[in-house]
Amino acid sequence: MRCAVPPCHKKEKPLTATQLNMASIKGPAPAPTSFPGAEKLRIGIVHARWNEECITPLVNGCIKNITAAGVKPENIVVESVPGSWELPFGVSRLISASQVQASSNVSDLMGATSLLDDSKPATPTTTGAKASKAALDAVIGIGVLIKGSTMHFEYISESCCSGLMRIGLDTGVPVILGVLTALTEDQALERSGVGRKGDKGHNHGLDWGSAAVEMALKTNRWAEDGDSIPHSPSVINNASILSLNLTKNHQHPSSPNPFLVMSASPDLTLFYLENSRAFRVAWLLEHLSLPYTLKQFRRIEGKRAEPTLRSESTNPLGKSPYLIDGDVQVGESSAIVKYLITRYASQRQRDDLLGSPSNWSDFTAIESFISFSEGMMIHTLSAIYPRWFSTPEIAKEIEAGLSANIHNNLNFLEQSLSRPNANGFLVAGRLTAADIMCAFTAEYTFHMDTGITSQGKKMEDWPKTVEWLKGLSRLESYQKVLGKGVVHKFTISE
Ligand SMILES: N[C@@H](CCC(=O)N[C@@H](CS)C(=O)NCC(=O)O)C(=O)O
């Protein structure tokens, strides 16, 4: 009878790499050798205290390569936690603490301290140099797990590694996996560069340190401008191109972006009613340089939208703006603005336009203005309805009744724009979604003269607000919308 198993499948002792005269193919491809910009980085290390004989050289290896790359010793923060189970929590809290520190004036929120003894893993020597207060650019979680006789090893390894991975993806701050999951003590010692029988092995901490610097620099660079595709050589060029294309289409915020989806490119159609809030959306689309199709609709006798707006857009409310993006349909200008920024803006643009967790006051101020533009400011817009649908006398009366609120709203804008560091914008001294949302309502108020001259007021009573609108209208993105041939009669210019 013929043997069912071919001879080559006979159970034999496998040959070792040396017997095969073959070097192992495992190991990282050469890492970058120079790290321009590393001197600006702040790197965190959180290490477990279990298996300290390995932990100490691993932490020191990390620090060695981080500083060799150019990171200043005072900008390396080392903290310890009891064991590897606590690593994800420690890393997560350290990232948050650094972000809070970056946005506050507290100087001693995080010191470059390790909870280890001084004789143990070296805390980078602080030579009196001032440590950075910036948020951490990368964090390494270091632990050493050695298999024992129970399931403990399996549970901790799995949870710790996936926990660290999740923090990186959720926060956008690179988290380097510095966890050895060794089956024997010898394996752990070899991978810590200590070894036991003459062969010292290789200290993986060195690689983790380099990886942290590389990932920190790359993440910062990608965040600089989502449109700029890095040109640095990659060992795996095709893979690199693929991943960057995905990044380009969908951007990748460094702070948590629950909406990050690797899918198709934007397929945007904006249903734009002339002289309407749709200007906000078109302006944002231009600001983000997103491609879109603009379908413009007329107002019948300057009032209600022509019925085709409802039928063509399929917006059940029949209002503009309305946005269709593939299978996504969004109404309400504020929702559209947030959707576009969240889905398509680069991290930098997103933090600029909506604010970031590193500055909660700006973040909440922007959010308030977005609500204000369609909340409190609705007084201004509603003043027009009596003019359209009532007698001039009644319209005048209603407008007079609304004017206190209209003035109050304008005073609020004026106050925000009068802050010493306003720089011609409502929040944070830069263009944000607050400006994009509120400008339309303010332009409308002045252009339609709702509650202004009829109430003995004039535009000049709100000089900063007028200057703000003029400044915004000079922006390239604003001008680009006008260049698209949209009808927008409210612009306040020189
Ligand atoms: N809160 C909505 C308001 C939408 C809205 O009322 N749009 C007006 C133009 S500014 C409209 O479509 N009017 C057409 C009509 O009422 O016929 C938003 O912010 O998008």
Are 324 and 442 within one domain? yes
User: Residue 406 has which token pair?
Assistant: 């209209």
Q: Whose CA is nearest to atom 5 of ligand 1?
A: 319
Nearest to 463 by CA among 406, 424, 420: 424
In Å, what is the CA distance from 410 to each residue of 75, 438, 448, 459?
A: 45, 10, 14, 10
- Asked if residue 169 lies in contact with residue 133, where contact means CB atoms within 8 angstroms, the answer is no
Nearest to 49 by CA among 117, 123, 128, 111: 117
- Asked if residue 295 lies in contact with residue 319, where contact means CB atoms within 8 angstroms, the answer is no
Identify the pLDDT of residue 244.
29
Total residues belonging to the chain: 494
The verdict on residue 13 lying in a domain is no
Are 272 and 211 within one domain? no
CA of 319 to the centre of ligand 1 (A): 5
Identify the pLDDT of residue 34.
86
Q: Please give the number of the atom of ligand 1 that sits closest to the Cα of 331.
A: 20
Are 47 and 118 within one domain? yes
Are 427 and 345 within one domain? yes
* CB of 321 closer than 6 angstroms to any ligand 1 atom: yes
Q: Express as a percent the part of the chain with pLDDT over 70.
A: 82
Q: E-assigned strands of 157-289?
A: 175-182, 268-273
Q: To test ligand 1's pocket by mutation, which of 295, 306, 319, 445 has the most ligand atoms within 8 angstroms of CB?
A: 319
The verdict on residue 12 lying in a domain is no
Identify the pLDDT of residue 110.
57
The verdict on residue 101 lying in a domain is yes
Average pLDDT for 107-119: 45
The beta-carbon contacts of 427-431 under 8 Å, at least 24 apart in sequence, are 427/355, 427/362, 427/365, 427/366, 427/369, 428/355, 428/359, 428/362, 428/365, 428/366, 430/352, 431/287, 431/352, 431/353, 431/472, 431/475
* CB of 297 closer than 6 angstroms to any ligand 1 atom: no
pLDDT above 90 for 381:
no
Identify the pLDDT of residue 247.
32
| Distance separating alpha carbons of residues 387 and 452, to the nearest angstrom | 15
| Distance separating alpha carbons of residues 390 and 89, to the nearest angstrom | 63
- With bands split at pLDDT 50, 70 and 90, how would you rate the model's confidence at 427? very high
- With bands split at pLDDT 50, 70 and 90, how would you rate the model's confidence at 117? very low
Average pLDDT, the chain: 85
| Distance separating alpha carbons of residues 68 and 37, to the nearest angstrom | 13
User: Residue 245 has which token pair?
Assistant: 């294309």
pLDDT tens-digit readout, 347-361: 889 999 999 988 999
State the total domains in the chain.
2
Average pLDDT for 264-269: 82
* CB of 332 closer than 6 angstroms to any ligand 1 atom: yes
- With bands split at pLDDT 50, 70 and 90, how would you rate the model's confidence at 101? confident
| Distance separating alpha carbons of residues 75 and 41, to the nearest angstrom | 7
Identify the pLDDT of residue 251.
37
Radius of gyration, CA atoms only, the chain: 30
Identify the pLDDT of residue 14.
55
The verdict on residue 488 lying in a domain is no
- With bands split at pLDDT 50, 70 and 90, how would you rate the model's confidence at 423? very high
Identify the pLDDT of residue 128.
63
Give me the numbers of helices (H) and strands (E) for the chain, helices first please.
Answer: 17, 8
Phi, psi of 111 (to 5 degrees): -95, 165
Bridge-based pairing state of the strands 292-297 and 322-325:
unpaired
In Å, what is the CA distance from 353 to each residue of 112, 203, 367?
A: 32, 43, 10
| DSSP designation for 77 | E
The verdict on residue 248 lying in a domain is no
pLDDT tens-digit readout, 185-211: 999 999 999 998 778 999 999 999 999
At a CB cut-off of 8 Å and minimum separation 6, what does 180 contact? Answer: 54, 58, 143, 144, 145, 187, 188, 191, 192, 204
**CATH assignment of the domain containing 425:** 1.20.1050.130
Average pLDDT for 119-139: 70
User: Of the given ranges (8-22, 220-234, 419-433), which has the lowest mean pLDDT?
Assistant: 8-22
Are 192 and 316 within one domain? no
Average pLDDT for 444-462: 95
Are 341 and 215 within one domain? no
Average pLDDT for 221-227: 66
In Å, what is the CA distance from 447 to each residue of 86, 369, 399?
A: 60, 21, 15
* Final residue in a domain of this structure, among 224, 252, 279: 224
* CB of 303 closer than 6 angstroms to any ligand 1 atom: no
* Final residue in a domain of this structure, among 170, 191, 224: 224
Are 440 and 354 within one domain? yes
Identify the pLDDT of residue 99.
78
* CB of 92 closer than 6 angstroms to any ligand 1 atom: no
Q: E-assigned strands of 298-403?
A: 322-325, 328-331
User: Which amino acid is it at 145?
Assistant: L
- Asked if residue 109 lies in contact with residue 251, where contact means CB atoms within 8 angstroms, the answer is no
Identify the pLDDT of residue 15.
53
Are 186 and 321 within one domain? no
* Maximum alpha-carbon separation in the chain: 110
Are 201 and 330 within one domain? no
At a CB cut-off of 8 Å and minimum separation 6, what does 391 contact? Answer: none
Q: Whose CA is nearest to atom 18 of ligand 1?
A: 332
User: Which amino acid is it at 286?
Assistant: E
Identify the pLDDT of residue 33.
80
**CB burial class (10 A; 0-12, 13-18, 19+) of residue 391?**
exposed
Nearest to 43 by CA among 1, 93, 98, 86: 98
The verdict on residue 249 lying in a domain is no
At a CB cut-off of 8 Å and minimum separation 6, what does 363 contact? Answer: 354, 355, 356, 357
- Asked if residue 195 lies in contact with residue 119, where contact means CB atoms within 8 angstroms, the answer is no
Q: Please give the number of the atom of ligand 1 that sits closest to the Cα of 373.
A: 19
The verdict on residue 234 lying in a domain is no
Are 342 and 472 within one domain? yes
User: Which amino acid is it at 444?
Assistant: Y
Mind telling me the catalytic residues? 152
Are 196 and 315 within one domain? no
User: Residue 283 has which token pair?
Assistant: 């302006």
CA of 320 to the centre of ligand 1 (A): 5
Instruction: For residue 61, give its domain range.
Output: 38-224
Are 284 and 218 within one domain? no
The verdict on residue 197 lying in a domain is yes
* Final residue in a domain of this structure, among 192, 224, 256: 224
pLDDT above 90 for 144:
yes
Query: Could you check whether the bond before residue 14 is cis, i.e. omega within 30 degrees of 0?
Result: no
Average pLDDT for 301-323: 97
pLDDT above 70 for 226:
no
Pairwise pLDDT comparison (127 vs 486), residue with the higher score: 486
Average pLDDT for 304-332: 97
**CATH assignment of the domain containing 69:** 3.40.50.960
pLDDT tens-digit readout, 6-31: 444 444 455 554 555 556 777 777 77
